[in-house]
Amino acid sequence: MTTASPFPQDFLWGVASAGHQVEGNNVNSDTWFLEHLPGSMFSEPSGDAVDHYHRYREDIALIASLGFTSYRFSVEWARIEPEEGLFSTAELDHYRRMLKACHEHGLVPVVTFHHFTSPRWLLALGGWEGSRTAGLFARYCDRVMEHLGDLIGVACTLNEPNLPWLLESFGIGGVAPENRGSVPVWAAAADRLGVDASTIAPFQFSSTEAGFDVKVAAHRAATAAIKARRPDLPVGWTLANSDIQSIEGGQELADQVRRDVNERFLEASRGDDFVGIQTYGRTVYGPNGHVPAPEGAETNQMGEEIYPQALEATIREAHRIAGIPVIVTENGLATEDDTQRVAYLKAAVDGVASCIADGIEVHGYIAWTAFDNYEWVFGYGPKFGLIAVDRETQERTPKESARWLGGRSRELSAQSVREPAAQPA
Ligand code: BGC
């Protein structure tokens, strides 16, 4: 006898990636531009990344062979619209081939339309505080849907629009427009683009109220554009929701951060088909702000406490506030020790199971990330991948965690309690 599993048979078991972190040579993007500025906050440039742009066929086949049923990846706005209003059919065809490869291998493609990176030209138009940005983003989404819409399984508009507010609570980023000119990298960016430094607002680094409004407007306009082409396609955005906690004296601050980072974005998700939840751990606040990992705690490569229980808490919070189905679109651990990753994934998946058992609609668990890749400002140091990559040879080697999660997905779906019930004789 097998134990019944609470996971529905069509549950999405996947791994995720983001174009800029894996493709390589995303040269028309704002992030590539920032990586190469004097005083850049990026510790190294993304370069060839893991050359997923050329190796996607083998990569998709490998993901499927490990047992997964879904692959989440992003399409790059900077490739598809390298100059304002100039759309590249060749690049759209590239993503069409990727989508076809997913279908050939039985993977449901979860497509992110914007994963942090934007075209460089958008930065000169005010980036994610610009008055034209929502409309321009919706126009790009419409073109993507026209070309690719029939092959997309789930659509994510914006990835982690709330991240800048979480980072700001750690004292990272969050420079007010009037002070940007005194930050060398923003001054250099403004100089090269020929604009005023106060207008430099890349997606990951702007935490102004104007930025909040632009992102909500862009999400709404994009959702409408996607639905106009395919009303049946599930559409949502994906949020960076940490499990926000406090120790004595930190409750007021924790409440404020929870409100700014999690709650108002979850409220803005109401009415969507789903919300993507992306959780890595907990964030604890005390009287003097963010509290580091407790003494002796097991930590990840960034020195943060390993706390897989956070995912269950953020799913429950999303369910309570947004009241719509959840897809875990990212969850993972930066570690060189894959045994730690297996334990982390197991605890996190148990948390998802307990939410489903309580009647919360969770439609998928997609781990971050398919391949060791470009971890933004941290460069290639942190290893979040379930598949290792030798960047000299670009050789891929699945880790035990990939086999564990891929195998588990088959097992759990096979034991689903959501199978059609057997009729009594
Ligand atoms: C992002 C990913 C990133 C991951 C790990 C999320 O914030 O969506 O692009 O690599 O977390 O830090």
CA distance 165 to 185: 20
Distance 368 CA to ligand 1 centre (A): 8
pLDDT over 70 (residue 424): no
Partners of 389 in the β-ladder: 396
Q: Would you mind telling me the total number of residues written for the chain in this entry? A: 425
Q: Is residue 160 annotated as a catalytic residue, yes or no? A: yes
CA dist 308 and 298 (Å) reads 12
Q: How far apart are the CA of 3 and the centre of ligand 1, in A?
A: 34
Q: Which residues of 129-166 are buried (b: 16+ CB within 10 A; e: fewer)?
A: bbeebbebbbbbbbbbbebbbeebbbbbbbbbbbbbbb
Tokens representing 263 are 């709650």
Within 10 Å of residue 33's Cβ, how many Cβ atoms? Answer: 19
Q: How many Å apart are CA 321 and CA 341, to the nearest integer?
A: 30
Mean pLDDT, all residues of the chain: 96
The tens digit of pLDDT for each residue in 401-412 reads 999 999 988 787
Is the distance from the beta carbon of residue 330 to the nearest atom of ligand 1 less than 6 Å? yes
Paired tokens of 380: 């290639």
Binding site membership of 159 for ligand 1 (Cβ less than 6 Å): yes
In the set 23, 35, 91, 160, the catalytic residue is 160
Ligand 1 close to Cβ of residue 355 (< 6 A): no
Q: Is residue 3 part of a domain?
A: no
Residue 424 resides in a domain: no
When divided into structural domains, the chain yields a total of: 1
Residue 288 burial (C-beta neighbours within 10 Å; 0-12, 13-18, 19+): exposed
Range 164-192 average pLDDT = 94
Q: Reply yes or no on whether the pLDDT at 76 is more than 60.
A: yes
* Residue 295 CB-density burial (10 A; 0-12 exposed, 13-18 middle, 19+ buried): exposed
**Average pLDDT in the 142-161 region?**
99
> In sequence order, what are the residues at sequence separation of 6 or more whose Cβ sits closer than 8 angstroms to the Cβ of residue 37?
185, 188, 189, 192
Question: In this structure, what token pair is assigned to residue 413?
Answer: 């779906």
Nearest-atom index, ligand 1, CA of 376: 10
- From CA 91, how far away is CA 116, in angstroms rounded? 19
How far is 354 from 362, CA to CA, in rounded Å? 11
Query: Does residue 5 lie within any of the structural domains?
Result: no
pLDDT of residue 1: 46
Residue 133 Cβ inside 6 Å of ligand 1? The answer reads no
Per-residue DSSP letter, 81: S
Question: Given ligand 1 and candidates 116, 330, 373, which is best to mutate, with the most ligand atoms within 8 Å of its CB?
Answer: 330
Whether residue 266 lies inside any domain: the answer is yes
Atom 5 of ligand 1: nearest residue by CA position: 375
Secondary structure in 3-state letters for 21-70? HHCCCCCCEHHHHHHCCCCCCCCCCCCCCCCHHHHHHHHHHHHHHCCCCE
Q: Can you give the pLDDT at residue 416? A: 72
Instruction: For residues 111 and 102, give the distance between their C-alpha atoms in angstroms, rounded to a whole number.
Output: 11
304: Cβ below 6 Å to ligand 1? no
| Paired tokens of 184 | 């060398």
**pLDDT given at position 414:** 73
- 6 is a domain residue: no
Determine if ligand 1 sits within 6 Å of the CB of residue 91.
Answer: no
Provide the terminal-to-terminal Cα distance of the chain, rounded to the nearest Å. 19
Q: What is the CATH number of the domain that holds 191?
A: 3.20.20.80
Residue 413 lies in a domain: yes
pLDDT at 3: 63
Query: Would residue 354 count as lying in a domain?
Result: yes
**Is residue 168 assigned to a domain?**
yes
Spatial distance between the Cα atoms of 296 and 305, rounded to a whole number of angstroms: 10
pTM score, whole prediction: 0.97
Look up the domain containing 252 and give its range: 12-417
Mean pLDDT over residues 108-121, rounded? 99
16 CA distance to ligand 1 middle (Å): 10
Classify the C-alpha dihedral 313-316-318-320 as positive or negative.
Answer: negative
pLDDT in tens, 257-298: 999 999 999 999 999 999 999 999 999 999 999 999 999 999
